[in-house]
Structure 1
Amino acid sequence: MSIVVTGATGNLGRHVVAGLLEKVPASQVAAVVRDEGKAAGLAERGVELRVADYNRPESLKGVFHAGDKVLLISGSEVGRRAAQHQAVIDAAKEAGVALLAYTGVLGGPEADLKLAEEHKYTERAILDSGLPYVFLRNGWYSDVYTDNLARPLATGSLVGSAGEGRVASASRKDYADAAVAVLTGTGHENKAYELRGDVAWSLPEYAAEVSRQSGKTVTYSDVPPEQLVDILKGAGLPAELAEILADADVALSRGVLAREGDDLRRLIGRPSTPIADSIAAALAELEK
């Protein structure tokens, strides 16, 4: 039996694998990757590499083994994820895995934003499979903003359509630690966890904190979602993704991603990472 992480070299997956290696021997961890070269460091540490591609269902045959605990990390190709996830679920069912954990979205079937549709489909497909499951319904990632901090620092402007809406974000590592707790723990079968940061914040507050820490003035400019779509498209994003991200901002204005709950804190056994700390880490990285 292995603990298997799909998308293991991605932004979230690498944190999950690192966390697992602190808890269990490397021989118990398997990483599903598309490119062995990118995972060479994991192989050197003793992690088993299993090569497969979400877009090629045939490549998933034999990737999972009976008794494995599997973490299905949602794909990054918005609009293609339903079919990709279905292929993973089918392969996991055929193998007879012991547990299938999935990184969905805060609110699950009640999440009222376009970004949630493929997550809703995936949760239904997992339920239909009859496999033991865990739904890790991740809230907003602080990294969505801090990974792109260079632009507002350069322009002095943060643009969005969230108004004064609040978001209870947490860091990718926080969500990864929650996944590790589930994959290495017991008693989580057939449960759904609503994972959100301890403290909700607004985009105006975010801009103010960036200004305070950086010493540069960054202001938040609220624009209609149609204008935000045009701005995102102008920055090179595909139209469909731009519309989904603008819709997510509108959802923030409604408080969709600021739900109450302490599932994340309880799973990781500590407070979630404050947005101020994530900003500080991003600024330090930019200074390197």
Structure 2
Amino acid sequence: MTLLVTAATGNLGRLVIDSLIARGADPASIVAGARDTSKAADLSARGVRVAELDYDRPDTVAAAIDGVDAVLLISGSEVGRRIDQHKAVIDAAKDAGVSKFVYTSAPKARTSALVLAPEHKATEELISASGLPSVILRNNWYTENYAGDAAQASETGVLAASVGDGRVASASRADYADAAAVVLLEDGHIGSVYELGGDVSWNFSDLASAISEVTGRPVEYTPLSTDEHAAALESAGLDAATIGFVTALDAGIRDGALAETDGTLARLIGRPTTPLAEGLRAIA
């Protein structure tokens, strides 16, 4: 079985390929799709086939998918452009008759009020309409998302956010990569929609404590109102669109969009998910 991983030179894509090989996949059976193939020389050196795949150039997508049995579509990073980009991959996969199509979505994408959810919802609907044999991986937050916050908080001693007491069931990218590798390699997952998150749902006081533990420097969580947060971001030089996006994300966390966890991720990968402090330590 030939497996295509899109965005293979990204942080998640590389880890998926690592996990596929660790789980016994022949490197020659893996196709690493990359917009810039020069960044995939290390993958090629491991025996992985590298193919140009640019979400904005459907001809490259079709060429990369030709002859592939299973596709992992890692959601694009260009917010606002992802529906058309994802559609190019879905259409090419349908035309190629792939036997398994896996997509990295967002928690409760069809019903969530999270600012990032609409593009994922639209993508899931496109996949459903295509009739592709699919598996949806609704990934919660990556612990690595907080690398910048951790670095800044360790310097200032303050972790400021407008999330209130909202909780996040994060896990490491490696945890989610393992889940993707499992569903790509195993039978029996077609038709499943998996809500994936870490074993522990933590709040920002917990995050501050974890940063303190990892860095050895005292950090306290300072809760802000949305208006206070927006003012602080403005004073830091952020533009209005970015401020609106960041505060909307925090509002979603405050309202519980990332709080739920039921152990599905741990069950899929056959081990506990990476604890918060351990995940931060790996990127400190």
TM class, shorter-chain normalised? over 0.9
* Aligned residue identity for 1:71: L
* Aligned residue identity for 1:20: L
Instruction: Check 1:223–1:29 CA distance in 2 against 1; reply closer, same or farther (3 A cut).
Output: same
* Aligned residue identity for 1:202: N
Cα distance, 1:216 vs structure 2: 1.4
In the alignment, the residues of structure 1 paired with residue 239 and residue 83 of structure 2 have an alpha-carbon distance, to the nearest angstrom, of 19
CA distances 1:107-127 after superposition (whole Å, capped 9, x unpaired): 121222111110000000000
Cα distance, 1:197 vs structure 2: 0.7
CA contact (8 A) 1:143 1:172 kept: yes
CA contact (8 A) 1:66 1:98 kept: no
Instruction: Check 1:22–1:165 CA distance in 2 against 1; reply closer, same or farther (3 A cut).
Output: same
In the alignment, which residue of structure 1 is the partner of 2:257? 256
Is residue 213 of structure 1 aligned with residue 214 of structure 2?
A: yes
Query: Normalising by structure 1, what TM-score?
Result: 0.92
In the alignment, the residues of structure 2 paired with residue 47 and residue 148 of structure 1 have an alpha-carbon distance, to the nearest angstrom, of 35
> Which runs of structure 2 are paired with 1:16-95 in the superposition (5 Å)?
16-23=16-23, 24-66=25-67, 68-95=69-96
* Aligned residue identity for 2:155: A
Is residue 5 of structure 1 aligned with residue 2 of structure 2?
A: no
CA distances 1:109-164 after superposition (whole Å, capped 9, x unpaired): 12221111100000000001111000000011111113542211112221211111
> Which runs of structure 2 are paired with 1:201-280 in the superposition (5 Å)?
201-232=202-233, 239-280=240-281
CA contact (8 A) 1:65 1:97 kept: no
CA contact (8 A) 1:72 1:102 kept: yes
CA distances 1:73-129 after superposition (whole Å, capped 9, x unpaired): 001111111111111111111111111100001112122211111000000000011
Unpaired runs of at least 5, structure 2: none
Unpaired runs of at least 5, structure 1: 284-288
Is residue 124 of structure 1 aligned with residue 125 of structure 2?
A: yes
Cα distance, 1:238 vs structure 2: 5.7
In the alignment, which residue of structure 1 is the partner of 2:156? 155
* Aligned residue identity for 1:223: L
* Aligned residue identity for 2:267: R
In the alignment, the residues of structure 1 paired with residue 15 and residue 28 of structure 2 have an alpha-carbon distance, to the nearest angstrom, of 18
Secondary structure of the 2:63 match is coil
In the alignment, the residues of structure 2 paired with residue 148 and residue 68 of structure 1 have an alpha-carbon distance, to the nearest angstrom, of 40
Instruction: Check 1:159–1:96 CA distance in 2 against 1; reply closer, same or farther (3 A cut).
Output: same
* Aligned residue identity for 2:13: G
In the alignment, the residues of structure 2 paired with residue 14 and residue 237 of structure 1 have an alpha-carbon distance, to the nearest angstrom, of 31
Identical residues among aligned pairs (%): 46
* Aligned residue identity for 1:127: S
Instruction: Report how many aligned residue pairs link the two structures.
Output: 283
CA distances 1:201-244 after superposition (whole Å, capped 9, x unpaired): 11111112222332212121222224434544665666444423
CA contact (8 A) 1:65 1:96 kept: no
In the alignment, the residues of structure 2 paired with residue 46 and residue 168 of structure 1 have an alpha-carbon distance, to the nearest angstrom, of 35
* Aligned residue identity for 1:12: L
CA contact (8 A) 1:100 1:133 kept: yes
In the alignment, the residues of structure 2 paired with residue 124 and residue 31 of structure 1 have an alpha-carbon distance, to the nearest angstrom, of 25
Cα distance, 1:27 vs structure 2: 0.8
* Aligned residue identity for 2:189: H
CA contact (8 A) 2:266 2:272 kept: yes
Secondary structure of the 2:116 match is helix
Secondary structure of the 2:125 match is helix
Instruction: Check 1:277–1:136 CA distance in 2 against 1; reply closer, same or farther (3 A cut).
Output: same
Instruction: Check 1:192–1:48 CA distance in 2 against 1; reply closer, same or farther (3 A cut).
Output: same
Cα distance, 1:245 vs structure 2: 2.9
Secondary structure of the 2:110 match is helix
In the alignment, which residue of structure 2 is the partner of 1:98? 99
In the alignment, which residue of structure 2 is the partner of 1:286? none
Cα distance, 1:33 vs structure 2: 0.3
Secondary structure of the 1:38 match is helix
